[in-house]
Amino acid sequence: MKLTAGGILLVMMATLSSGCATPTYQSPKPAPALTLSEAERQQGKALHYRLAQQQRLNRVSWPLLKASTDLCPDKIRPALGFQYANSHSFAPSDAQQTDTKQPASERDAAIREFKLGEVLQVMAVVPGSGADLAGIKTGDKLIKLGEQSLPTGRTALLEAPEILRQQLADLKPDQTIEVTLYRNGQTLTRPLKPQTLCDYPVKRLPSEQINAYADHYSVAITDGMLAFATNEDDLALVIAHELAHNLLDHIPATARNTLLGGALDLLLISQGILSPGAFSLGGSVHFSKAFESEADYLALYLLARAGYDLEGRAEFWRRLSNSRPSHILSETGSTHPGNAERYVRMQAAIAEIRLKQQRKEALVPNTIKP
């Protein structure tokens, strides 16, 4: 659209006049203390939301990571199945902040909501994991693993992973390790048996976009996708697709970047399943359409192995096309197949898997014949 000189003047006048507008109606003025207490309430709810979403990711991804260990022989880890934190895991208040009208810091909110202190505390337990089977509960304080005391205080969250790794590294298959806990004023010990998982952590990415990412080291699922994939089987499909990219080594060495490096890098470097070409670096890190189809294909096998329901999974692509009709067919230059092709391919792959299940054959994807 081109504006004439007169048009530009009108736009400027409209802008100026709107700057002078004042409200006509008087809405009720709440007492500052009320707003403050509501802010703290929302802060608490936001913390619970974040924890619940990460719990959901852990719960849904666990069976997939467990069922695919034959495909990640060099990248496995023993996992216990609990998340932990202490008060230092959350951001402190800004030292410069002297305004008492501001709500408490995230750390204060976490202390209030989860009763956190200096000692590491169990925040969530994955159903079916060793921690779950051993009866570990949310809120348990972690004192020792084996003979090793677990760290406390400011650096606990940094030190704990290495201690856990060392303690679990020497365990033989099927061996248990004793965990010492503090619960309701009592010290308890429980035998813990780790399970072996592919070592690709699945994390939540605070973004409203409906998308998911793989970066060779981990998988990230956006808040937008978590809201879109309300069905756990659909969420498992999305995670399995990204996991497949990692398992199949699809991410070029030049594009590898850890998700811990920051969301911006992640968005720039990784390719999502739904944003063809949206985040690429000079076209150098595109997954090919063939890789996308291969990841869709392997994902279904991973779902079947992990016991997820294949029925209706291809509907995911139809649902996506409702709001994104431009993705029904693959656009020129797109890195991803269109949703129509993905639906049809997925239906065929589901039929193939069902046949193998009926024949009691191993759930191994077909390889390309030379």
Q: In this chain, which stretch among 43-51, 156-164, 292-300, 308-316 interacts with Zn ion, using CB under 5 A?
A: 292-300
Smallest gap, in angstroms, from Cβ of residue 66 to Zn ion?
22
225 binds Zn ion (CB under 5 A): no
Which CA distances in Å does 219 have to 173, 179, 287, 312, 366?
A: 27, 29, 16, 24, 25
Contacts of 179 (CB under 8 A, 6+ apart): 80, 134, 136, 142, 144, 145, 189, 190, 191, 192
- Dihedral angle of Cα 19, 22, 27, 32, to the nearest 10 degrees: 60
300 binds Zn ion (CB under 5 A): no
Smallest gap, in angstroms, from Cβ of residue 272 to Zn ion?
7
125 binds Zn ion (CB under 5 A): no
60 binds Zn ion (CB under 5 A): no
Give the residue at shortest CB distance from Zn ion. Answer: 273
CA 299 centroid distance within chain? 17
CB-nearer residue toward Zn ion: 110 or 273: 273
User: Are residues 123 and 138 in contact, defined by beta-carbon separation less than 8 angstroms?
Assistant: yes
Q: In this chain, which stretch among 19-27, 122-130, 168-176, 269-277 interacts with Zn ion, using CB under 5 A?
A: 269-277
CA-based end-to-end distance of the chain = 55
C-alpha–C-alpha distance, residues 140 and 124, integer Å: 10
CB-nearer residue toward Zn ion: 136 or 295: 295
Q: In this chain, which stretch among 141-149, 188-196, 267-275, 311-319 interacts with Zn ion, using CB under 5 A?
A: 267-275
Rg for the chain, CA atoms, rounded: 25
Two structure tokens written together for 170: 């020497």
Strands 202-205 and 219-222, sheet pairing: parallel
CB-nearer residue toward Zn ion: 71 or 295: 295
Q: At what angle do helices 232-247 and 32-67 cross, to 10 degrees?
A: 60
Smallest gap, in angstroms, from Cβ of residue 277 to Zn ion?
12
273 binds Zn ion (CB under 5 A): yes
Q: In this chain, which stretch among 16-24, 31-39, 181-189, 284-292 interacts with Zn ion, using CB under 5 A?
A: 284-292
Total residues interacting with Zn ion, rule: CB under 5 A: 3
Smallest gap, in angstroms, from Cβ of residue 119 to Zn ion?
41
Binding residues (CB under 5 A) for Zn ion: these are: 273, 292, 295
